[in-house]
Structure 1
Amino acid sequence: MAQLPDDRARQEVTALVEVTRMDPRVWPDVRDPGSVEEIREAFGRRCWIHYIPHAGAIEVRDIGSVG
């Protein structure tokens, strides 16, 4: 989060994480063939997260932002 460009991007990522946490199974599965992890992704207007659902919670694996 500290590497995001500004407070607005951090706020957007935080909001996206909260929405995703509320229902982590609604976002698409983006597993590579042969992967053992159930990596999914969710997108905001200027940001995205890659995460893994775990029993009603999520583990965020990657965060990104455009600009």
Structure 2
Amino acid sequence: MAELPTDEARRNVLELTDVARTDPRAWPDVRDVGSAEEICEAFGHHCRIQFMPHAGAIEVREIGWAG
């Protein structure tokens, strides 16, 4: 998060994270074949996150910014 260029970028990523947390199964599963970890990917207007769903929470693994 600290590497994002602006407060707006951080706000957009946090908003996407909140949306993904509320319904993590709505996002596509992008795990590698044979992986035991469930890794999903969510897309916003200028950002994307890869995350692992946990009970009532998500663990963000990667953040991408294109703004």
8 Å CA contact retained: 1:23, 1:56: no
Write out the 4+ residue segments of structure 1 that deviate beyond 6 Å after TM superposition.
Answer: none
Q: How many residues align?
A: 67
Report the Cα offset of residue 19 of structure 1. 0.7
Amino acid at match of 1:4: L
What is the aligned partner in structure 2 of residue 26 from structure 1?
Answer: 26
User: Aligned to 1:34, what secondary structure does the other structure show?
Assistant: coil
Q: TM-score, normalised by structure 1?
A: 0.93
User: Aligned to 2:18, what secondary structure does the other structure show?
Assistant: helix
Q: TM-score, normalised by structure 2?
A: 0.93
Report the Cα offset of residue 18 of structure 1. 0.5
Report the Cα offset of residue 35 of structure 1. 1.1
Report the Cα offset of residue 57 of structure 1. 1.1
What is the aligned partner in structure 1 of residue 13 from structure 2?
Answer: 13
User: Aligned to 2:58, what secondary structure does the other structure show?
Assistant: strand
Q: Which runs of 5+ in 1 are unaligned?
A: none
What is the aligned partner in structure 1 of residue 63 from structure 2?
Answer: 63
Report the Cα offset of residue 50 of structure 1. 0.3
Q: Among the aligned pairs, what percent are the same residue?
A: 64
CA distance in 2, matches of 1:35, 1:64: 22
CA RMSD in angstroms, aligned pairs only: 0.8
Report the Cα offset of residue 4 of structure 1. 0.7
